Amino acid sequence: MTSSLVDVLVIGGGQAGLAAGYYLRRAKADFVILDAQDTPGGAWQHAWPSLRLFSPAQYSSLPGRMMPPPPGGGYPSAAHTVAYLSEYERRYQLPIIRPARVRAVRRGIDRLTVETDVGTWQARTVISATGTWWRPYVPYYPGVRDFRGQQLHTADYRGPQFFHGRRVVIVGGANSAAQILAEVSTVAETTWVTLRPPRLLPDDIDGRALFELATRRYQAAQAGQNAPRVADLGDIVAVPPVRDARDRGVLKAEPMFARITPHGVAWRDGTELACDVIVWCTGFRPALGHLAPLRLRGSDGLIPTEGTRALGEPRLHLLGYGDWTGPASATLIGASRTARDMVAEITAQR
Ligand code: FAD
């Protein structure tokens, strides 16, 4: 195995890693991007085919190059996003090595040591941009091991065809649950369960309006003021299939069940519901396992940061995992602003 020196090493070649790459290239930095996937596109390669972004193409763009509108109009698909990201990294000739999985990041004397399955790098600065798709989260409910039906997570969902004629319980109160419910309810008997009553955003609020709100909040915070949170408006974007499901009357949610039985689910008051499949649309957690040797996680499982910089290891930046690493930084458009500020901070120290 070889050991190479580099100034900045980016872990992850999804949209966040590419946004970082764009600004690093512009700053003429010495950098490399390592990506565990065989091909470009990050998590979008694994999304279900009918998934549509919740913003138009021009509001789903990385710095420098607009996402072209999808053929036929409407909101872009996951495949369209993969094509855009593939073209993006070619256009800017980003130095990406794939497949290259980072196993561990460790402290060295004046650099961080990055161990991968294709060699070891010594980097002055490491940017971790590994996303969340790789760590699906399923909450624990008593009885789960005895369930005789099938269970799957958002990350396993490939489309409604598998559910024909089955009784399906869909768990989760956010966008993935609503979009999957909208499709599955056209071919199966569905029950939607959520921790809190789900809140649909008004029809005219999509990702574009959410981003503008996030921007106002960011600017207000810079000025030491308060502004409404995105979550104050609602949780679920009313994309066309979700509106259709609402109009069909299937978007009615039951409270969360208390346990799982061999043949279904049961509520605290003793009510039982038989089902064949449980779909857990219960979200994802940041994929941070490669950073474990640095021992940076707080009690909430996240790494405390100031902006993108890890408080416990100033040579490490985290990009794209959620609002805790920059407002809207886990979205296509939001990754840009955070990446720009992060690269400015990194290069200012050179
Ligand atoms: P990823 O796309 O996951 O990229 C991370 C890359 O890092 C991957 O290629 C991965 O293989 C690699 N990696 C991971 N671990 C390692 C390792 N140890 N070593 C090397 N490489 C590693 N955002 C929007 O803007 N608009 C939307 O409409 C939208 N819809 C969404 C719908 C769903 C169902 C989900 C789950 C998310 C959605 N998002 C949306 C949010 C976000 O844009 C995506 O989650 C996006 O994929 C995040 O990009 P990323 O670069 O942070 O992570």
The CATH number given to whatever domain includes residue 42 is 3.50.50.60
CA-CA distance, 168 to 160, in Å (whole number)? 11
Same domain, 38 and 94: yes
Give domain status of residue 185, yes or no: yes
Q: Which numbered atom of ligand 1 lies nearest the CA of 321?
A: 52
CA-CA distance, 55 to 53, in Å (whole number)? 6
The pLDDT tens digits for 312-341 are 999 999 999 998 998 889 999 889 999 999
Q: How many angstroms is it from 7 CA to the middle of ligand 1?
A: 24
Probe residue for ligand 1, chosen from 9, 34, 35, 103 as the CB with the greatest number of ligand atoms within 8 Å: 35
The pLDDT tens digits for 35-77 are 999 999 999 999 999 998 988 898 899 999 999 999 988 889 9
Probe residue for ligand 1, chosen from 9, 127, 332 as the CB with the greatest number of ligand atoms within 8 Å: 332
CA distances from residue 29 to 32, 96, 98, 199 in whole angstroms, order as listed: 9, 14, 20, 45
Q: Which numbered atom of ligand 1 lies nearest the CA of 75?
A: 28
Same domain, 276 and 293: no
Give domain status of residue 121, yes or no: yes
Quote the pLDDT of residue 174: 92
Same domain, 245 and 268: yes
Give domain status of residue 312, yes or no: yes
Report the share of the chain in percent with pLDDT over 70.
97
Same domain, 180 and 289: no
Q: Which numbered atom of ligand 1 lies nearest the CA of 330?
A: 42
The pLDDT tens digits for 199-231 are 888 888 777 777 777 777 777 777 777 766 666
Residue nearest (by alpha carbon) to ligand 1 atom 41: 331
Q: Which numbered atom of ligand 1 lies nearest the CA of 12?
A: 7
Same domain, 293 and 314: yes
Number of domains into which the chain is organized: 2
Same domain, 272 and 290: no
Same domain, 175 and 154: yes
Same domain, 275 and 291: no
Residue nearest (by alpha carbon) to ligand 1 atom 47: 43
Same domain, 33 and 103: yes
Quote the pLDDT of residue 230: 60
Q: Which numbered atom of ligand 1 lies nearest the CA of 333?
A: 25
Quote the pLDDT of residue 239: 86
Same domain, 101 and 178: no
**Residue 256 CB: number of other CB atoms within 10 A?**
17
The pLDDT tens digits for 247-272 are 999 999 999 999 999 999 999 999 99
Give domain status of residue 270, yes or no: yes
Instruction: Name the residue range of residue 272's domain.
Output: 150-200+235-280
Residue nearest (by alpha carbon) to ligand 1 atom 43: 331
**pTM assigned to the model:** 0.94
Identify the domain boundary among 280, 300, 333: 280
Give domain status of residue 76, yes or no: yes
Same domain, 9 and 129: yes
Write the DSSP string, 78-133: HHHHHHHHHHHHHHTT--EE-S--EEEEEE-SSSEEEEETTEEEEEEEEEE---ST
Quote the pLDDT of residue 202: 86
For ligand 1, residues with CB inside 6 Å are 11-17, 34-37, 42-44, 53-55, 60, 101-102, 129-131, 133-134, 176, 207, 287, 290, 320, 330-332
Report the share of the chain in percent with pLDDT over 90.
80
**Summary mean pLDDT of the chain:** 93
User: Does the ipTM surpass 0.90?
Assistant: yes
Q: What angle do CA 142, 148, 154 make, to 5 degrees?
A: 75
Scanning 112-264, the segments in alpha helix (DSSP H) are 175-184, 207-222, 240-248
Same domain, 12 and 100: yes
